[in-house]
Structure 1
């Protein structure tokens, strides 16, 4: 049963919000902006409502993938089964079977999965992401730092090795999917949202 649910989680992850909505609108956002099929590029190229729809789908599939593990597998297999399905959904989002294995960067689907499998981590992850974004204005950097905050949290619970494996895998995957952002950041060419960099502007003054 776990193998079936892992496949289902991957296939759910493969349902990319921006690409599904893009088909309805007649656009492929992988040909626009940064070329990424995630929420940030959706916002930059298609506007707020398109981006909101993208995020809701991407978060929702993460929730559903882990919820299925929680409700269809024995309690003795929780939480490691939830972490496994969460990771499968994120991998599906990054390399979607339905969209030529070119998807997004995995952050939205991860947030949805955490809602079920590790809800206590949500406030830390979102807090780190928001603080970094308000200081730097860089979405990619903020997402990578938020991912690594999961790893720090997991280190405080060594009695849960599956959580540590999941956190390390997610942190490294987010670093990999944001490698182009990191390269542009080092080169000084990474675009940033100046409007949200409110704390950064305070420190500059």
Structure 2
């Protein structure tokens, strides 16, 4: 299964390199990474180019993770029936890595939150509603997108670990190593998201974080 894991990571990474925000910005004659926060993700695109651009970027970044996972699921559906969710998670994490560190853009991409949302939708749809409610609630109350993102990916981790050990994800419960591996990969999403928000965390703690606002374009 080691080879399958590597294939899943590679497929995910290649999909992750489709930088929706960067490509949309280029179609408008700008490099989104040279505006606003310098990030190529949804939030900066939304703030810089407006609602339409933000929505397109979110959907593109979200569904590239979904597509990568569906491809891996199709390829290995008959080989690893008791652990396909683990391969799906590898594909999802590969997508986040490709999004955050695209090789053709000098490894300067986004923060992977929209990609992680796609992973949640594809791997554990049950967690989607709660994560969405948490994110919207936090942003609506505080107007801090970064805080909403950090709490959302933390809630995601808690949910998938619980669902995993309740046997709701189809992983063979008699093989503890598989359940544990799934938990570790899930934790990687949360750790990556928090690490990518380290500057935001510092600003949140110092009271200098930018509140949500967007272009009227």
TM-score by length of 2: 0.84
Residues 1:132 and 2:151 are matched in the alignment:
no
- Pick from 180, 183, 188: which aligns with 2:207? 188
SS of structure 1 residue aligned to 2:10: helix
Equivalent position of 1:201 in the other structure: none
SS of structure 2 residue aligned to 1:19: helix
TM-score by length of 1: 0.89
Structure-2 change in CA distance of 1:48 and 1:194 (3 Å): closer
Unaligned runs of 5+ in 2: 166-172, 174-178
- What CA distance in whole angstroms lies between the structure 1 residues aligned with 2:128 and 2:180? 19
Residues 1:123 and 2:129 are matched in the alignment:
yes
Residues 1:41 and 2:47 are matched in the alignment:
no
- What CA distance in whole angstroms lies between the structure 1 residues aligned with 2:213 and 2:142? 8
Deviation at 1:75, TM superposition (A): 4.1
Q: Does the CA-based 8 Å contact 2:47-2:213 persist in structure 1?
A: no
Equivalent position of 2:93 in the other structure: 87
Q: Does the CA-based 8 Å contact 1:10-1:90 persist in structure 2?
A: yes
Structure-2 change in CA distance of 1:194 and 1:31 (3 Å): closer
Q: Does the CA-based 8 Å contact 2:46-2:54 persist in structure 1?
A: yes
Query: Higher mean Cα deviation, 9-18 or 160-169?
Result: 160-169
Deviation at 1:4, TM superposition (A): 3.0
Which structure has more relative contact order (CA 8 Å, sep 6+)? It is 2
Structure having the larger proportion of residues in helix? 1
- What CA distance in whole angstroms lies between the structure 1 residues aligned with 2:158 and 2:12? 26
Unaligned runs of 5+ in 1: 196-205
Equivalent position of 2:11 in the other structure: 8
Q: Does the CA-based 8 Å contact 2:135-2:152 persist in structure 1?
A: yes
Residues 1:50 and 2:69 are matched in the alignment:
no
- What CA distance in whole angstroms lies between the structure 1 residues aligned with 2:110 and 2:27? 18
- What CA distance in whole angstroms lies between the structure 1 residues aligned with 2:84 and 2:185? 13
Q: Alignment RMSD, CA only? A: 1.7
Moved over 2 A (4+): 1-6, 74-77, 154-163
- What CA distance in whole angstroms lies between the structure 2 residues aligned with 1:98 and 1:111? 24
Residues 1:161 and 2:180 are matched in the alignment:
yes
Structure-2 change in CA distance of 1:8 and 1:20 (3 Å): same
Q: Does the CA-based 8 Å contact 2:127-2:160 persist in structure 1?
A: no
Q: How many residues align?
A: 195
